[in-house]
Structure formats: structure tokens, C-alpha cells
Amino acid sequence: MQVTVEPMHDALRALRAAKGISQLALSLRLGVSQRHVSYVENGRTQPSRTLLAHWLDALDVSLPTRNALAQQAGYAPLFSHAALSDPDLALARHALSQLVTAHDPLPCYVIDANWNLLQTNAGGLWLSQDLMPWLSGTPPNGPLNMLDLFSHPEGIATRVVNLAVVGPQMLRHLRHEAITYPAIAPRVQQVALRLNALLGVDVRSGGLGHATTAAPPLMTTQFRTSLGVLSFFSMFTTFGTPHDITLSSIRVEHFFAADAQTSDRLRALG
């Protein structure tokens, strides 16, 4: 995952501001003076590798950005970045396989920070191909991307029954996520434009994704499938305190049946 960041001092100032943390509050967390924080953010001095690591940890910065800033400062990367196929990640791969297989027949998807689809189970494969039959006849050019599939003219969005409810909530989440992972911003914009076309809301006005009504406690998505309308809510699983960029980017999305009808129909499908 390639990450481009602005000059280090500008990036550190912007990251702090995005978190709503004052220079004084940050200095107390780091055990340095507020003047030192100011000097670093103004480019007058450079933090040591150790201080930079603590600084980025205090701001809960994504691991790819931490590495990029460390290298920009002339330091070695703070975290490894192994391929998922690397022998060192064998335990992680085994855990992912166990998670997705155990979740059948309910859908389960393994995705990375860019929403690329890395792995799925039988339930996830069935749901994807049922919602988008054209997928089975179109060899993918590279990994499938879930945001691309959502914004595709014949994609997932066209099969969501309650899109007017789910769409704005999803877009708000994605826009917030794009702050941490700027690489997904162009795809998030495509999702916004697709929702604009389907729901007739002008995203440029900020109306979509900024609803004033409170969200329900548990967001349920209803899909129009060959088995009828199926309703799901989802949960995400991530690795705890990962120290590798690849592992930090991986999430497992588990779909759970939101009603007895969905559960019964999927288990009958088997």
C-alpha cells in the first residue's frame, strides 16, 4: 500500500487538528514542552524516531501513514509490510480461513483498507453472484473492489431495497474513513455520485451523507435476491494490535440474518 503524505511538519499539524487535540494536550501526552510541539509542527526542529513513533501513536495514525512519515524524516519504517502470502503471516491466513468458513452459509468477506476483496466464503460468493449475475461471466482485471461493485451501474446499490436509509449512513462512514485512508477518496466520490443518481439528492450540497435524523441502533440492509428480500446486519472483525501494515488493513465483514425468513432461506439453500 503506497501512501503519499504532505511535508512531515504540515502532516503532523493537520493530523493533530483532525483529532481536535491542542498542542498543549499533545505535549502532555508525549512528555515534552508545548514549545517543542510547536517547533516540530512549524518545521523548525525534527523529532527523534522514538518521539515520532510516540507522536503518531498518540494521534492514532494509520500504520501506512506512520511508515511514510518516518521514511520522510529519514528513519527506517516503523512497521513491517509483508504480503498476505508471506510465511510470517501463516497464522493470520489460517485464522481468516477459519473465520470465513465457520460463518457459512451466511455471507462473509475479507477486505483490505482500500475495500479490495481478498477472500469470501460460499455464502458470500452466492450473495455476490446473485446480486450481480454478470460477475460470473466477467473475469476480474485485478482484485474486485467492493466500492467499485457498489457504484457500478449494475452493481450492489441497485439491489438494496432500503437504499434511502442505508446509503447516507454508509456514505458518512466512508467519508470519515477516507480521512484515515485518503486513497479511497476517489472511490468514495463515485459511491456518492451513484447514490445521487439513484436517490436524487445533490451530493455537492452536502445533503447526502449528512442526515439530521438519528440512525437506528443496528443498521439493517435489505437485498432483493432470487430468494426474495433478504435482510442482514453486519459486524467487522480486525486483528488486535497488529504490527504489520497488511494485517492492520484487513477487516472481516460478517453478515448476520436480521430476521427468521433470511436465516431459514439461507440455511435451506445450504
Give CA–CA dist 48/73, Å, rounded. Answer: 9
Question: How many distinct helices (H) and strands (E) make up the chain?
Answer: 12, 5
Q: Of the candidates 134, 244, 23, which has an alpha carbon nearest to the alpha carbon of residue 144?
A: 134
pTM of the predicted model as reported, rounded to 2 decimal places: 0.81
pLDDT tens digit sequence for 27-59: 999 999 999 999 999 999 999 999 999 999 999
Give CA–CA dist 83/85, Å, rounded. Answer: 5
What the chain holds in terms of domains, given with CATH numbers, is 8-72 (1.10.260.40), 87-165+209-269 (3.30.450.180)
Q: Each residue's pLDDT tens digit in the chain (270 positions)?
A: 445 456 889 999 999 998 999 999 999 999 999 999 999 999 999 999 999 999 999 999 888 889 999 999 999 999 999 999 999 999 999 999 999 999 999 999 999 999 999 999 999 999 999 999 998 876 666 689 999 999 999 999 999 999 999 999 999 999 988 877 888 999 999 999 999 999 987 655 555 544 555 666 789 999 999 999 999 999 999 998 889 999 999 999 999 999 999 999 998 887
Instruction: Enter the C-alpha cell of residue 113.
Output: 483498507
Instruction: Enter the C-alpha cell of residue 64.
Output: 501506512
Could you give the angle at the alpha carbon of 138 between the alpha carbons of 137 and 144, nearest 5°?
Answer: 130
